[in-house]
Each structure stands twice: as structure tokens, then as C-alpha cells.
Amino acid sequence: MEKHYTDSKVKGVSTGTTILAAIFDGGVVIGSDSRASIGGEYVSSKTINKVIQVHDRIFCCMAGSLADAQAVIKSAKSHLSFHSVQMESPPLVIAAASVLKELCYKNKDELQAGFLTAGWDSKKGPQVYVVSLGGMLISQQVTIGGSGSTYIYGYVDAKYKPNMTREECLQFATNALALAMGRDNVSGGVAHLVVITEKGVEHVVVPGDKLPRFNDE
């Protein structure tokens, strides 16, 4: 974990963070915490939004250096909107993920950013893709990222079930984020969640005092 901080001191504001995305029956939930910190000592923002919309039904979460991630997403958004005009249809989720992957892979020496991409398209329904630091792209049903994710691997493995209902999935995501924020000192603040289905997009913000509490608090 120390390695993240020393690198981030060179690159500027960095997120220790917790991000998560999970598929449920009919849609996908993507969420994150809201803390941005410098070197693990100072919280530079308590309410930063790490869930970014790149298209109508496609959202991304950033991890790693916030500066790098924001730059990549800005470039990806413009690629994607041009692509969707050319195709005359909304872009596929995998297209968004591939655009991010190309940028991360081609510039892997300079960048230190990873992404979760989640969304819904008419071809494959709800999907979640992970673009890791070096530019690997894989599809998963549930995925977590960021420094806080270490602490919830066990919880996510144990508690995620395929084909949950929307409510169950939202509860699962909120619990997972709350647990990670409780153990990781560079994750915290509020939980930002976005629910994406065929019908539309819904933002859910769970403020700190409404987060689920577990028996040691």
C-alpha cells in the first residue's frame, strides 16, 4: 500500500479509493466512495464524484491517479461521442471500455489509471468491464478496485450472487463500500451509486451517517 502513496506524491492529487460494479437481473450497479487524498495524510476532497458518465447508459469509475484518469476519460468521451455519431446508434459498453483500454495501453509508461466501466446496451444487456493499470481489458460479473478493495475481496466473494434483484444488489454494493471505507483510511465520505437499466439511469447517494453500520461501530 505504501507504494501507491510515493508514486502519487510525484503525480499530484491521487485517490486512494474504493470502486465497485456488479451486474444484477436486468441492470448493473456501479459505485464508489468520495474521498480524494494526498499521500494518505490529507483529504483534499470529501465529496469528489468518481463515477463519471461517458454516455447515456455507460458510466466509468476511476482509480489510481485522479489527474490521469480525468484526462483519459475526457479523451474517451469525445472519441465515444464521435463513434456513436458515425455508427448512428448508442455505443456498446465494450466500445467504451475498449477506448479506455487503448488509451491506457498505448500510454502505459506515463499513466497510472485504472477503470471500471459499466453500462447497458441493446446487444448484450448489462455488462461490467475492467481496464487495469497496464491496459488489460476483461469482462466480469462483479468487480472491485482501488486501495480499499483489498479489504472487501472476502465479502464480495461470499455475498455476491448472480441474478440478484435491484434492491439486493444496491444493498450489497452499499454494504461493500461501507465495509471498505471502514477499514481503508484513504476511502471515505459518501457512497455514490448509479443504477443503470434498459429504462434509464438512477443516482443514489448514501451520506456517511446513513451508511450501514457493522457491529464494531
Partner 1 sequence: MLGEAEPQWLSEEVKTGTTIIAIEFNGGVVLGSDSRVSAGESVVNRVMNKLSPLHDKIYCALSGSAADAQTIAEMVNYQLDVHSMEIGEDPQVRSAATLVKNISYKYKEELSAHLIVAGWDRREGGQVFATLKGLLTRQPFAVGGSGSSYVYGFVDAEYRKGMNKKECQQFVVNTLSLAMKRDGSSGGVAYLVTIDEHGTEEKVILGNDLPTFFDQ
Spatial contact of 46 and 34, defined as CB atoms under 8 Å apart: yes
Nearer to partner 1, 114 or 182 (CB): 182
CA distance 68 to 13: 10
Q: Does 210 interact with partner 1 (rule: CB under 8 A)?
A: no
**Residue in 122, 157, 199, 210 binding partner 1, rule: CB under 8 A:** 157
Q: Which long-range contacts (CB under 8 A, 24 or more apart) does 94-101 make?
A: 94/124, 94/127, 94/129, 94/139, 96/54, 96/55, 96/58, 96/60, 97/129, 97/131, 97/137, 98/137, 100/60, 100/72, 100/73, 100/76, 100/131, 101/131, 101/135, 101/136, 101/137
Span from 29-37, 115-123, 157-165, 187-195 in contact with partner 1 (CB under 8 A): 157-165
What pairs with residue 29 in β-bridges?
A: 22, 195
- Within 165-184, the residues that bind partner 1 by CB under 8 A are 175-176, 179-180, 182-183
Q: Does 214 interact with partner 1 (rule: CB under 8 A)?
A: yes
Spatial contact of 145 and 114, defined as CB atoms under 8 Å apart: yes
Nearer to partner 1, 59 or 160 (CB): 160
Tell me which residue of 138, 23, 12 sits closest to 69, measured CA to CA. Answer: 12
| Residues that are catalytic | 17
Q: Does 193 interact with partner 1 (rule: CB under 8 A)?
A: no
Rounded least distance, CB 186 to partner 1, Å: 14
Q: Does 160 interact with partner 1 (rule: CB under 8 A)?
A: yes
Q: Does 153 interact with partner 1 (rule: CB under 8 A)?
A: yes
Q: How far is CA 195 from CA 59, 80, 87, 187, 202, in A?
A: 10, 21, 26, 21, 5
Site size for partner 1 (CB under 8 A): 23
Q: Does 161 interact with partner 1 (rule: CB under 8 A)?
A: yes
Q: Does 12 interact with partner 1 (rule: CB under 8 A)?
A: no
Q: Does 51 interact with partner 1 (rule: CB under 8 A)?
A: no
**Residue in 155, 168, 201, 204 binding partner 1, rule: CB under 8 A:** 155
**Residue in 113, 156, 169, 196 binding partner 1, rule: CB under 8 A:** 156
